[in-house]
Structure 1
């Protein structure tokens, strides 16, 4: 027994750190596995259209490469361009894999959708919010029948009208 006591006395600081770490891990595990936690206490993420996110799983984000689109002319103002970068929030990794298969088609639909807009229709915050909702709807319309929606939310990474 004196050998163990001598060891702990000699390495007291290391023993305290190890025992403290074990205690913190055990307490953390007990709090994490606590059965009394109610789901309604966990805040729900809000999506572009104001509805709660569909899944309690951690979100999967898929950034799209930024691209430039020619806009419809405003009052004879030709040459207006939109440089836009988007990130999509998806339900899970399986949805991301399914979406990536159709990515060229989805980007084509986005370009066609955005090229119908004019610079004036993209000026206010409400216009941009409406555009995010429209993008989400357009992308979700392109999913194969019976598949869950691709996109639960859309975020701007960059947005420049010139």
Structure 2
């Protein structure tokens, strides 16, 4: 996160200065969900460099219970460590594209509760269809990535 930077003028002691590298917003998505993959392809096409897309199935350093919760609904981590979920996470991710201002309408106070309920219902059905009613169980694939 921090990279040391040294400055040394004539007759000066070396000075170590820490410069902060740009933090990224990270969207965690279900790479086994066909609709999710389609949306991520579009998002990857239009996003700026401030957004990183990570497949939850490649996050093996996270406990299975955390991966399951992340598979049940979209999760996004802001650079300051704040987590957003569901529609709020999606809208925030799309803010990294030129279409973001239009999707902000989904968070407009009169429609946001209805949009959230519709998303939650869809997300529950999607998870059940893909993984069943039981607990999500994972096996470690060879291509697992331990990127946080």
TM range (shorter): under 0.3
1 or 2 for the larger relative contact order (CA 8 Å, sep ≥6)?
Answer: 1
Q: Tell me the TM-score normalised to structure 2 length.
A: 0.24
Asked which structure has the greater CA Rg, the reply is: 1
Q: Tell me the TM-score normalised to structure 1 length.
A: 0.23
Higher share in helix? 1
